[in-house]
Structure 1
Amino acid sequence: MITLENVTKTYAGETTIGPINVEIPSGGITSLVGPNGAGKSTVLTMMGRLLTPDAGRITVGGLDVAKAKSNDVAKKLAILRQENHFVTRLTVRQLIGFGRYPHSRGRLTVEDERHINEALDFLNLRALQDRYLDELSGGQRQRAYVAMVLAQDTEYVFLDEPLNNLDMSHSVQMMRQLRAAADDLGRTVIVVMHDINFASRYSDNILAMNDGQVTHFDTCADTMKSSVLTEIFGTSVRIIDDVDGPLAVYF
């Protein structure tokens, strides 16, 4: 379980995030949605200890992320931010190997190589493993970064906009793979998303934010309602029944 207790973050003397009190259950996929600037990415980075809250407490799987040792946190959770800028020239396999650093401390073992190979296969990157990142398309690089996070082999996986740079087909493929990571690998996946239809199709729960506050947290079934989505996004939303589930249409 992930618990946020009275978490706040203040910028320029003005509280812009929180106080947030929420419990996110272990297992499955929880999507963070809401308008631009709602605070989704800020909350995710605080959960991943890449940003320190000004007040409150965050625990992930019973681990207080502010007080725990860095290596203990890195073995409990893995996080991928939107800004991925590796200045050195790395191959796909070398990049994924960085995900093993909390375990290997830079000296890869047979066990580390096994996790790297599994991540390559899971994201269908085996044919690209010796290609350099700057030789890949944006979508291929994004898959490589997600593979690096999965190779870290943590119970909790935090992803900020993992569908960036992906076309529709590859977005579907990515969400199916994240669904498999939750179902087959037993990971708890927390993902920031803009597309509510992708979120509802592949998630178990949806946490909505607006103006730095949690405004809604429920199952997908109880979230995909016109009245709820209209309040979340501040614009009229119509729900259309589809064979694979409800679809939201903005107008």
Structure 2
Amino acid sequence: MIEFRDLVKSYGDRTVLGPVSGRIEEGGITSLIGPNGAGKSTLLTLLGRLAAPTSGTVLLDGTDVHRTPSAEMARRLAILRQDNHFTARVTVRELVAFGRFPHSRGRLTAEDHEHIDRALDFLALGDLAGRYLDQLSGGQRQRAYVAMVLAQDTRYALLDEPLNNLDIKHAVRMMEQLRSAADELNKTVVLVVHDINIAAGYSDHIIALRDGAIVANGTPAELMDPDLLTRIFDTPVQVHEVDGRPLAVHHR
């Protein structure tokens, strides 16, 4: 379980998040939603120790993530940041192999190669393993980065906007793969996602933020409420039932 208590992030005299408190139970998919500037990515980076909070605490199974050695935490939690840029020219397989560094320290074993192969296969990247990243489409590169996170083989995987650069068809496919990672690989997946319908269709739990505060926290069924969604996104939202599933439609 990830628990955060009185978490605040400020830059100078400007507070962009908090104080917020909550927990993310082990297992399944938790999506962070909300409008631009709501604090979704900030919360994720604090949970994943990519940034230090101004105040407050983040606990991973009772351990303070910001006081735990990086090498130990990297074997328990993996995070994909939004801005991934490799200056070196690497192949897909070499990129995915970076996910094994917390375990191998750069000396890959047979077990490491098994994890790399499994992650490549899981994201359907086997045929692209020898291609360089700059030879791929944006969507293919995004899949490669997610494969790197899965190869790290942590119980917790935090993903900041993993659907970036994906059209709706490939976004749905990515969510199906993340759903399988949660169900078949026993991962706890936490991700930032902009599309409320995608979040509702594949998540077990949703945390909604606005203006640096958590305004709603519950199951997809609980959050697919037109009044609540209108308050979250500050624009009229209607919810219709399509093929037995709720579908949110924004009206401007």
Shorter-chain TM-score tier: over 0.9
Cross-structure match for 1:60: 60
SS at match of 1:209: strand
Q: Which residue of 2 aligns with 1:143?
A: 143
Give the distance between the partners of 1:29 and 1:61, measured in 2 at CA: 17
Letter in structure 2 aligned against 1:125: L
Distance in 2 of aligned mates of 1:4 and 1:126: 38
Within a 5 Å distance, the mapping from 1:52-131 to structure 2 comes to 52-131=52-131
The one-letter amino acid paired with 1:231 is R
Calculate the TM-score normalised by the size of structure 2. 0.98
Matched to 1:60, the amino acid is L
Does 238-247 or 212-221 show the bigger shift?
A: 238-247
2:47 maps to 1:47: yes
In 1: Cα distance, 2:179 partner to 2:3 partner: 22
- The yes-or-no answer on 1:156 pairing with 2:156 is yes
How far apart in 2 are the matches of 1:166 and 1:62? 36
Q: 2:206 — aligned with what?
A: 206
**Structure 2 stretches lacking a partner, 5+ long:** none
Residue number in structure 2 paired with 1:182: 182
Q: Secondary structure at the match of 1:246?
A: strand
Q: For residue 45 of structure 1, give the secondary structure of its aligned residue in structure 2.
A: helix
In structure 1, what is the Cα distance between the partners aligned to 2:231 and 2:61? 31
Which deviations, in whole Å up to 9, do the C-alpha atoms of 1:40-77 show, x marking residues without a partner? 00110011000000111001222211111101110111
Write the distance in 2 (CA, Å) between the matches of 1:57 and 1:153: 25
Give the TM-score normalised by structure 1: 0.99
Amino acid at match of 1:206: I
CA distance in 1, matches of 2:148, 2:4: 26
How many pairs does the alignment contain?
251
Match of 1:236 in 2: 236
Q: Distance in 1 between matches of 2:132 and 2:165?
A: 18
Asked if the contact 1:63–1:73 (Cα under 8 Å) also holds between the matched residues in 2, the reply is no
Note closer, same or farther for the CA distance 1:153–1:221 as it changes in structure 2 (3 Å cut): same
Separation in 1 of the partners of 2:180 and 2:16? 35
Deviations 1:90-135 (A, max 9, x none): 0000000000000000000000000000000000000000000000
Cα distance in 1 for partners of 2:126, 2:244 equals 31
CA RMSD in angstroms comes to: 0.8
Aligned to 2:219: 219
1:76–1:156: 8 Å Cα contact kept in structure 2? Answer: yes
Aligned residues with identical type, % of pairs: 57
Gaps of 5+ in 1: none
- Alignment partner of 2:90: what SS? coil
TM superposition shift of 1:244: 4.9
For residues 60 and 219 of structure 1, the distance between their equivalents in structure 2, rounded to whole angstroms, comes to 22
Q: What amino acid is aligned across from residue 44 of structure 2 in structure 1? A: L
1-structure distance, mates of 2:120, 2:224: 34
2:28 aligned with 1:28: yes
Which aligned segments of 4 or more residues in structure 1 are displaced greater than 6 angstroms? none
How far apart in 2 are the matches of 1:161 and 1:4? 21
Give 2:36's aligned amino acid. Answer: N
**One-letter amino acid of the structure 2 residue matched with residue 110 of structure 1:** A
Question: 1:129-170 CA deviation, whole Å, 9 max, x = no partner?
Answer: 000000000000000000000000000000011010111111
Three-state SS of the structure 2 residue aligned to 1:114 is: helix
